[in-house]
Amino acid sequence: MPVDPQIEAMLAAAPPWPGVRNMDLATLRQAVRDSSVMLPPPPDAPVAAVEDRTIDGPGGPLGLRLYTPEGSAPFPVVIYCHGGGYVVGDLDTQDMIARALCAWSGAIVVSVDYRLAPEHPFPAAPDDTFAALQWAAGHAADFGGDPARLAVAGDSAGGNLVAAAALRARDLGGPALRAQVNIYGSCNYPSELTASAREFAAGPLLQQDDIAWFYEQYLHDPAVQQHDPQASPVRAASHANLPPTFVGTAECDPSRDDAEAFGAKLAAAGVPVTVKRYPGMVHGFASWVGFLPGARAVLQDAAAFLKLHLEN
C-alpha cells in the first residue's frame, strides 16, 4: 500500500527535510519541539489533572509528568517514554500521546523526561526509565495509583526504553508489570539492513541515515554496546516471562521489520503478543492522533490492550 494520502499531502506541503545529520543539534531539537507542540490532542481524550514532578534520578533530578484520568482512584499506572532517537523530545513533544493513553486506558500515565544523548549517552536513558518505574511502584498510592497494576508504554526510542525496563524488572524480580506497549520501537541496533530498511531508506519522514546518526549519538562504543539488551532488547538471552506485549508498526517505516521481529521473538518465548501493522503509516505517525485516523487507531488499540491487562 502507498503512503496514506493525508500523510502524503502533509509531507508535500512541508519544506524538504534535510536529514538530522545535516542540522546542528540545537536547531534539530528546536525544530522537533516547534512542530510537535502545535499538534493537538484528540478532542475526546479528557484528563482530570496534569502535574509535573521531579524525583531523584540516577543522574540527578528527573522530571516526570503525571496524567490522571477522570474517575475514581486508585487507577492503574503506565510509565510512558517519548520517542526522539534518544536525542530529541521532552515532556511536551508527545503530550498528545500521553493524554490519549491516559484518557482511553483509564490509567495514570507517568511520562518520563529521561536524559538525552549525546550529552548523556547510553545507559543514561534506560537507567532513568527504570528509576521512574521503581519510583512509580513505590509511590503509586501517593498519587492515586495502584502499585499492583503497572505497565510500560513508549513510542520509537521510548518503546525501546520501556522494553529494556521490562527486561530489567523481570531480571531483578520487580516491579511486576502487567503489560508493555511498543509503538514502532525497533528494539535493535541497526547492524543489519532489513527489507523495510532497504525499501524505506530514504523515508518518508525517517530515513535510515537518521537512525544511524541517532545511534552514533547514543552509543559511545557501538561495537560492544549494540549487543547489550538494554540497548537492543531483542538481543536478550531470553524473552520468557515478560509481560503481555502490544507492538504497533508503521507500514512505510525503515524500522518496521525490526519492531515486528521483536514481537516475534517474544511470541516464540511464550509471551502473549499482539503485533499490528498500520497500512500507509510512517514512523512517528502516532503523534498525529488529533487528526489522523491511523494514529487514532494505533493509540486506541494500545489503550484497549492496556485496559484489558490492567483490569482488577
The CATH number of the domain where 63 resides is what? 3.40.50.1820
Catalytic hit among 36, 105, 111, 156:
156
pLDDT score recorded for residue 231: 98
pLDDT score recorded for residue 1: 67
Helix (H) or strand (E) holding 32: helix 25-37
Kindly give the parts of the chain with pLDDT less than 70.
Answer: 1
Phi, psi for 10 (deg, rounded to 5): -65, -45
Range of the domain at 280: 5-310
C-alpha cell of 277? 501493522
pLDDT score recorded for residue 17: 82
| Tally of domains in the chain | 1
Give the closest residue to 76 by CA, choosing from 159, 23, 150, 141: 150
pLDDT score recorded for residue 24: 95
| 287 noted as active-site residue | no
Answer left, alpha or beta for residue 5, where phi above 0 means left and psi between -120 and 50 means alpha: alpha
Largest CA distance in the chain: 50
